[in-house]
Amino acid sequence: MKRIAVLVSGGGTNLQALIDAEKSGIIVNGKISLVISNVKGAYALERARMNGIASAVVLKKDCGSQEAFEQNITALLREHEIDLIVLAGFMSILSEEFTKAFPHRIINVHPSLIPSFCGKGFYGLHVHEKALEYGVKVTGATVHFVNEIPDGGEIILQKAVEVKEGDTPEILQKRVMTEAEWNILPEAVSLFCQDRLTVENNIVHIGE
């Protein structure tokens, strides 16, 4: 059974999708064992508490530096013997030192079809604002491995979502969450936990 840590900054809707997927058996051979937030009072911590999941808060301002911040997170991950780290709305860029310490063991969900509307500065509602400004007819979500480049790791899964006339960024954000993010994130976690993901030449292969 793979042990999963979920790193969050806000309400934790993707965390809830993972909790629900674990309970319903969509996530095979995986257990959410730890939730870490870099925001005190994030509702995601309440979701963890209600579901009996250990949680912790690590504040960068209390740590004094990015290095100390990441060292504290790493210590928690080691203590809980974590196999997979899931970034689910975690609003803090992780350093190359951190990502290299967990190669192909960190995954992130991004609310666009990478390589569109991704990279530094593209997060949250801003992604959907840009998609609507550009006038795309299709957007979606991507689950990818995390490396030192924001949204630059190998793509695991993607799912397309239609952009509809009259969409606002808020409406589009909700549709991308419900139709894409909340489906492909648990699926990717389950594939990892079943040892069905391999990476060759920067391409992710899904085994049987």
Using alpha carbons, list the distances in angstroms from residue 206 to 28, 47, 82, 129, 189: 15, 31, 22, 32, 12
Helix (H, G, I), strand (E, B) or coil at 81: coil
**Is 128 known to be catalytic?**
no
Identified catalytic residue from 104, 110, 128, 144? 110
Spatial CA neighbour of 180 closest among 138, 120, 126, 136: 138
Residues in the chain: 208
Residue keyed to tokens 């069905």: 196
- How are beta strands 30-37 and 54-57 bridged, if at all? parallel
Tokens 């389950």 found at? 190
Could you give the residue numbers annotated as active site? Answer: 110
